[in-house]
Chains A and B, each alone.
Chain A
Amino acid sequence: MRRIAIELDGVTVTGVLYDDRAPATVAKLWERLPYEDRVTHAKWSGDMFHTNTDLALELDVSQWPFGMENPVGFQAPGDIVYLPAAKEIAIAYGSARFAWVIGPMMVSGIGRIESDLGAFAKKAERLQWDGAKRLVLRPLSPA
């Protein structure tokens, strides 16, 4: 699996992208790396934050059930997900389930953080108190 570095407000962790379960989505995201945006804390999804600038990956979502690759309904701490309809990436750092005003939503599971979440989760939790911060995704391994 392809490996990435995820930097949130100066704290960096490493993660993997699911080439096997979401190959098309991961390949399109890989082309966009390094990717940088300002992220804000979720208001419906618990311990999760999300990007805010449209990240259109130009996927033919009509080919997949639920309109996405590897649809998942639950997230564990460290899970990285992508919602094609909203063109956003979200990352869970604690107790979380991707939701919006209508309730929980399926999202595309595209990867997970593999290193220690401790300091990263503390930074993520501060988003609720400190507002938007810089997130950078960088490629670590060759495609």
Chain B
Amino acid sequence: MKRIVVEFDGKAFDAMLFDDQAPVICGNIWNALPLEGPVTNTKWSGDMLRLWVEIPEPVERENLSQLQNPGDILFLHKWNGLRFVYGQARMQGPSGASPTPLVGRMLGGVEDLAALGKRVEWEGAVRLRVRRA
């Protein structure tokens, strides 16, 4: 599996892409790296940050997850960008839960990600960067 690095607040955390389970989507993400943009909390999905970047969107909806866990990295068709789960969360909208491609996982730094989520809630969006390891 391909290794990536997630950077925020001057810190860097290793993560991996599930290119074996979601090869087309992860290929698009890999080819788009480095990606950098603002992160905000999601409106419907709980403890989840959205990285506002554009990734070429494939037709394939690979490795769909129904439930998400802290550290999960998601790609959401139509809305694009990446999602980082840092606590109690489930990808959903006004019509309910939405099965979502699970494209990777943080290999550490979830507590830092949770602190970032709380800070973003109170102080506003901050920059986050994802690059190849």
Using a CB–CB distance below 8 Å, which chain A residues touch chain B?
40-47, 95, 97, 99, 101, 128-132
* B106 nearest CB across to chain A (Å): 19
Whether the Cβ atoms of B122 and A132 lie closer than 8 Å is yes
User: B97-133: which have CB < 8 Å to A?
Assistant: 120-125
**CB nearest neighbor in B for A95:** B94
- Provide the bound-state CA to CA distance between A46 and B94, in Å: 7
Number of A-B contacts (CB under 8 A): 47
Could you tell me how many residues of chain B have their Cβ less than 8 Å away from some Cβ of chain A?
A: 19
- Provide the bound-state CA to CA distance between A46 and B42, in Å: 9
- Provide the bound-state CA to CA distance between A131 and B125, in Å: 7
Using a CB–CB distance below 8 Å, which chain B residues touch chain A?
38, 40-48, 88, 93-94, 120-125
What are the residues of chain A within 8 A of B123 when measuring CB–CB? 131-132
- Provide the bound-state CA to CA distance between A46 and B41, in Å: 11
Please name 14 further chain A to chain B contacts, defined as beta carbons within 8 Å, in addition to the given A46-B44, A97-B94, A129-B38, sorted by A numbering: A42-B43, A44-B46, A45-B43, A45-B44, A46-B94, A128-B40, A128-B125, A130-B124, A131-B120, A131-B121, A131-B123, A132-B121, A132-B122, A132-B123
